Structure 1
Amino acid sequence: MRERDRRLLEAARRGDALEIRAALRDGAAVESRDEELRSPLLLAALGSHVEAARVLVEAGADPDAQDRRHDSPWLVTGVTGNVEMMRVLLPAGPDVTLRNRFGGTSVIPASERGHVSYVRAVLRETAIDVDHVNDLGWTALLEAVILGDGGRPHQEVVELLLAAGADPDLADADGVPPLRHAERRGFTEIAALLSAARAASPVT
């Protein structure tokens, strides 16, 4: 690896925007990769270094560049729940259909983790598919119920997903719908939200 590229990667990992600019001026490749195939922008996103990411986006960095684990700068925003980072990446035109190693889009891990602000923003500001099904057979709604704790953040995530048109009857790979999962886990508030959404759904 060229020393200038190593400088850029280290600067991105630290979130040093000034050093990133300097390394780029010295000819570092904006799409250089470390041993795990992580790009400078991915390293900045992993560290939630917003200003560093902004510099890299302005330099043309790819928000969809994936590493060995299939993480990308865009996908990582769903894990961290960093709305500001998400918005820094939007002008770069990220592919919101890009899938992580579990076959999920960014809204799925965000829903699992109860990142309310992120879920609200990504649903409002992108055309992400609210009913995308990952390789486990789970949607964002199912992950919020199955992997969430039933607390207020996950309740809000469920509210946001349903308001965005998530199908309350879309079952998992075993045919178990979100409502049944919520009832099994004793998530009374979430079960009530799902029941109300099902009642309001048009009969087909």
Structure 2
Amino acid sequence: MNRRRQKKLSKRLVEAATFGDGTQINALLRAGARPETSDTEGTTPLYAASVNGATDSVLHLLAAGALPNTDSGRGAEGTPLCAAACWGHTETVRALLAHGADPNLREDHGTGRSPIEWAMAGPYPETIAMLLAAGARPHNRTTSPLS
């Protein structure tokens, strides 16, 4: 598949994931879109689905081979688990953890917040409890919302 077509598919896959359009996600994957791709901004489909709490889309992407610990964006986003925890999307957090997301992985290539820090900033008690049960370790450092 040529590079231009792959870029278009990637862009459309991120858009479909953003809006939780599972039918479109499946069609794009069948057409050759790669689940571990990103759009021109660096956003991955799994991050886009996770930040919006689109659990069904998250499950489609994971089943197609999207990696649950891949950082998205260029410093403005993070990991799918951090995205879901930040907004208290408990079912999405559950799906990501079930597919191997690391509950202690800090976003921004290890320099940002962890999923538990995002959930605690919410606060989202159900998400916090789920992350703790999965082995998340609360950290003693203070972070700002922009870090």
The normalised TM-score by structure 2 is 0.83
Q: How does 1:17-166 map to 2 (within 5 A)?
A: 17-66=22-71, 67-69=73-75, 70-101=77-108, 103-124=112-133, 126-130=134-138, 132-133=139-140, 137-138=141-142
1:127 Cα deviation (Å)?
Answer: 1.1
1:13 Cα deviation (Å)?
Answer: 1.4
Pick the aligned partner of 1:11 from 7, 16, 36: 16
1:87 Cα deviation (Å)?
Answer: 0.9
Equivalent residue number for residue 183 of structure 1: none
Equivalent residue number for residue 154 of structure 1: none
- Does structure 1 conserve the Cα–Cα contact (< 8 Å) formed by 2:11 and 2:40? no
Structure 2, gaps ≥5 residues long:
none
- Does structure 1 conserve the Cα–Cα contact (< 8 Å) formed by 2:86 and 2:119? yes
**Structure 2 Cα separation of the partners of residues 104 and 88 of structure 1:** 20
- Does structure 1 conserve the Cα–Cα contact (< 8 Å) formed by 2:17 and 2:49? yes
Structure 1, gaps ≥5 residues long:
148-204
**Structure 1 Cα separation of the partners of residues 56 and 84 of structure 2:** 15
Deviations 1:151-170 (A, max 9, x none): xxxxxxxxxxxxxxxxxxxx
- Does structure 1 conserve the Cα–Cα contact (< 8 Å) formed by 2:116 and 2:128? yes
1:25 Cα deviation (Å)?
Answer: 0.6
- Does structure 2 conserve the Cα–Cα contact (< 8 Å) formed by 1:63 and 1:94? yes
Q: Write the letter of the residue equivalent to 1:100.
A: E
Identity fraction in percent: 29
RMSD, aligned α-carbons: 2.0
Q: What secondary structure does 1:121 align onto?
A: helix
Greater relative contact order (CA < 8 Å, ≥ 6 in sequence): 2
Which consecutive segments of 4 or more residues in structure 1 shift more than 4 A?
none
Return the index of the structure with the highest Cα Rg: 1
Q: What secondary structure does 2:92 align onto?
A: helix
**Structure 1 Cα separation of the partners of residues 74 and 10 of structure 2:** 19
1:52 Cα deviation (Å)?
Answer: 0.8
